[in-house]
């Protein structure tokens, strides 16, 4: 569905992306991981043309994204939902109005846009807060409104730029559970930048590891995170052992969404993914 080929982007003397290539299939969840400053966010912004690559190509359904301008570019962006670290909600609009805003600007009739926005808020558990302004919502609730706003456009691909980075652990659980449910439905492809290792193991179809603006490893989540010889993979292994080994004990580490579904009652399930999701 989406293919990026040999992307390069520099900011002055800093090389943010250096010969980066990847692809996303329909309904697939690709998790992008790596240390801060390695180019993950720049990569996402290049995909959505918020940042213009210096070199390289991006193809969406066999169409050259770099050639898009004007209305064609706007139509492309409507098919690519973007959930940022910061929610970027419109402060003077209610949750319902924030979610309905995209469809309204795309020409959807007002009554239909509002009814569908309410249904989308209900999908993320916030229908009862539809009348609230962002200031009256918690950080996790605001992020769920941002997710509903992205879903309201019925995108083919959703891009997530560390959506839990600014949240406390309880709010992280709320947001990751919704993301896991969306991944399990396999209706929309997702590219997720995150540092949440258990989430990547449970939900990703593939993991892409980046370091210094380059892709250093890519593949099945368990193999990429626990068997790759890339230095960044070894650091993630150490991080995993420090944070989660006690919770997992000696149980076999999960190897992605399919294996977790085959072992629905396995109590070594990843932290941050609810039992409801594992049984979906």
| pLDDT value at residue 130 | 94
Report the alpha-carbon distance of residue 256 to residue 254 in Å, rounded: 6
Q: Which of 49, 71, 15, 2 is nearest to 210 (CA)?
A: 15
- Which pair of tokens denotes residue 40? 């993950």
Q: Which of 137, 191, 183, 189 is nearest to 161 (CA)?
A: 191
Tell me the pLDDT tens digit for each residue of 48-89: 999 999 999 999 999 999 999 999 999 999 899 999 888 889
145 assigned to some structural domain = no
Number of domains present in the structure of the chain: 1
102 assigned to some structural domain = no
- Which pair of tokens denotes residue 159? 């891009």
| pLDDT value at residue 257 | 54
| pLDDT value at residue 181 | 85
- The larger pLDDT score, comparing residue 213 to residue 174, is at 213
11 assigned to some structural domain = yes
User: Residue 251: pLDDT above 60?
Assistant: no
93 assigned to some structural domain = no
- Computed from CA positions of residues 16, 22, 28, 33, in that sequence, does the dihedral angle turn out positive or negative? negative
136 assigned to some structural domain = no
Question: Which range of residues forms the domain containing residue 256?
Answer: 2-79+155-278
147 assigned to some structural domain = no
- pTM to 2 decimals? 0.82
The predicted model gives 172-190 an average pLDDT of: 83
249 assigned to some structural domain = yes
Report the alpha-carbon distance of residue 3 to residue 64 in Å, rounded: 10
96 assigned to some structural domain = no
Q: Are 159 and 83 in contact (CB under 8 A)?
A: yes
Which DSSP string corresponds to 123-156?
Answer: HTT-GGGTT--GGGS-HHHHHHHHHHHHHTT--S
Residue 122 parent element (H or E): helix 110-123
Q: Which CATH number goes with the domain that contains 38?
A: 3.40.50.300
- Which pair of tokens denotes residue 22? 């990847």
Which DSSP string corresponds to 242-260?
Answer: HHHHHHHTTSPPP-SHHHH
The predicted model gives 24-43 an average pLDDT of: 92
Alpha-carbon torsion, ordered 173, 179, 185, 189, to 10 deg: -160
Tell me the pLDDT tens digit for each residue of 113-154: 999 999 999 988 899 999 999 999 988 899 899 999 999 999
Q: Which of 22, 26, 25, 28 is nearest to 6 (CA)?
A: 22
């Amino acid at each position: 569905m989406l293919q990026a080929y040999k992307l390069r982007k520099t900011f002055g003397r800093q090389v943010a992306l250096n010969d980066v290539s990847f692809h996303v299939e329909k309904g697939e969840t690709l998790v992008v991981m790596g240390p801060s400053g390695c180019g993950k966010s720049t990569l996402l912004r290049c995909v959505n043309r918020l940042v213009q690559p210096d070199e390289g190509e991006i193809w969406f359904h066999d169409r050259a994204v770099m050639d898009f301008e004007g209305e064609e570019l706007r139509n492309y962006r409507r098919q690519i939902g973007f959930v940022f670290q910061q929610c970027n909600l419109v402060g003077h609009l209610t949750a319902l109005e924030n979610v309905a805003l995209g469809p309204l600007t795309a020409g959807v009739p007002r009554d239909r846009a509002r009814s569908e926005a309410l249904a989308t808020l209900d999908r993320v558990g916030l229908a009862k807060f539809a009348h609230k302004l962002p200031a009256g919502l918690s950080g996790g609730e605001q992020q769920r409104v941002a997710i509903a706003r992205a879903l309201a456009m019925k995108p083919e691909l959703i891009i997530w730029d560390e959506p839990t980075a600014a949240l406390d652990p309880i709010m992280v659980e709320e947001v990751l559970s919704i993301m896991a449910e969306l991944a399990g439905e396999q209706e929309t492809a997702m590219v997720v930048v995150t540092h949440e290792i258990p989430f990547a193991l449970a939900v990703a179809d593939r993991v892409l590891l980046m370091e210094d603006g380059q892709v250093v490893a890519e593949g099945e989540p368990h193999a990429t995170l626990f068997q790759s010889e890339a230095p960044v993979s070894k650091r993630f292994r150490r991080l995993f052992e420090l944070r989660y080994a006690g919770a997992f004990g000696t149980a076999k580490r999960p190897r992605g969404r399919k294996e977790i579904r085959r072992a629905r009652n396995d109590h070594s399930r990843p932290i941050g993914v609810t039992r409801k999701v594992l049984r979906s």
